[in-house]
Amino acid sequence: MRIYLIIILFACISACNSKPSNNANADTSSRQVEAQKPEISSQEALDLVQNQGFTFIDVRTPKEIADGKMEGALEINYKADDFQEKISQLDRDGKYVLYCRSGGRSGQAWTLMNELGFKNVKDATDGFSSINDALNK
């Protein structure tokens, strides 16, 4: 009898201390983040930097940057071991436009910056060449 009481007591304690799993809310939350992901065109990126005080962040490798970059862009290599450390040192209230070669790394960098609490970061998904072409039109 004593063993049954111990089992019942343990079951009650476990049930009271466990948090209900609500996968529907988790799915909704991640969909909301994706829906809010601010992907912008090359022309929009230029407008934000030239007219609205945004700063470019080039997340390409130094070898890629050697072929050219946007004037004034911060160079923070997404593939470097210290990428998150360097990003974390930026002003979370600052205004940034991320770009890479084709949109993959800048999208991943956007996700990280969003998780770190940055409030105003855009992702120029067309990449460096497209932004540079739009600049030279």
Catalytic residues: 100
Provide the CA 128 distance to its chain's centre, in angstroms.
18
Collapse the DSSP code of 93 into the 3-class scheme (helix H, G, I; strand E, B; otherwise coil) and give the result.
coil
Distance CA 74, CA 124 (A): 15
- How many Cβ atoms from other residues are within 10 Å of residue 2's Cβ? 6
Name the token pair of 22.
């609500």
Number of other residues whose CB lies within 10 A of the CB of residue 130: 18
Answer for the pair 98, 123: CB distance below 8 angstroms, yes or no: yes
Q: Yes or no: say if 58 and 97 are a contact pair by the CB < 8 Å rule.
A: no
